[in-house]
Amino acid sequence: MALTIDNLPNQLAALMASIKQPAKAYLVGGCVRDALLGHPVHDYDIEVYGMPMEKLLKHLQSRGRTDAVGKSFGVIKWSPKPGETYDIALPRKEINTDTGHRGFSVHADPFLPLEAACERRDFTINAMLYCPLEKRLIDFFGGKEDLKKRQLRHTSEAFHEDPLRVMRGMQLAGRFGLSPHPETLTLCRSMHSSFASLPKERLWEEWKKWATQSTHPSMGLCFLREAGWLSHYTSLNQMIGIPQDPHWHPEGDVWEHTLLVCDAMVGAESWQDGLSCEDRLAIMMACLLHDTGKVTTTKTILKEGLQRIVSPGHAQVSSRLSEVFLDQIGAPLWLTQRVRPLVQEHMMHLQQPTERAVRRLSRRLEPESIRHLCHLMLADARGRGQASQANPIHVMALRKTAEKLEVTHGAPKPLVQGKQLLSMGYPPGKEMGRLLTKIYDQQIEQGWSQRQSALAWLLKACPPPEEASS
How do residues 259-269 score in pLDDT, each as one tens digit? 999 999 999 88
Judge contact between 360 and 444, C-beta under 8 A: yes
With 50 as the cut, is the pLDDT of residue 390 above it?
A: no
d(CA 286, CA 273): 18
Residue 360 binned pLDDT confidence (cut-offs 50, 70, 90): very high
Mean pLDDT of 341-346: 97
- The answer to whether 211 and 335 have CB atoms below 8 angstroms apart is no
Q: Left (φ > 0), alpha (ψ -120 to 50) or beta: where does 429 sit?
A: left
Q: Which residues contact 127 (CB under 8 A, 6 or more apart)?
A: 118, 119, 121, 139, 140, 141, 143, 155
Confidence of residue 44 (pLDDT cuts 50, 70, 90): very high
pLDDT band at 5 (very low <50, low <70, confident <90, very high): low
Contact (CB, 8 A) for 326 and 338: no
Mean pLDDT of 378-384: 90
Give the residue range(s) of CATH 3.30.460.10 domains in the chain.
Answer: 10-149
CATH architecture of 10-149: 2-Layer Sandwich (3.30)
Which pLDDT score is estimated for 103? 52
Tens digit of pLDDT for each residue in 303-325?
888 899 999 999 999 999 999 99
pTM value > 0.85: yes
- The pLDDT value recorded for residue 470 is 45
Taking the C-alpha atoms of residue 217 and residue 176, their distance in angstroms, rounded to an integer, is 9
Instruction: Please report, for residues 70, 178, 382, the alpha-carbon distance to residue 268 in angstroms, rounded to integers and kept in the order given.
Output: 40, 21, 10
Average pLDDT for 59-77: 87
Model confidence at 439, in pLDDT bands (50, 70, 90)?
very high
Report pLDDT digits (tens) over 203-242: 999 999 999 999 999 999 999 999 999 999 999 999 999 9
First to last CA, the chain: 86
Q: How far apart are CA 61 and CA 366, in angstroms?
A: 49
pLDDT for the residue numbered 468: 45
Q: What's the pLDDT band for 3 if we cut at 50, 70, 90?
A: low
| CA neighbor of 387 nearest in space, from 251, 290, 244 | 251
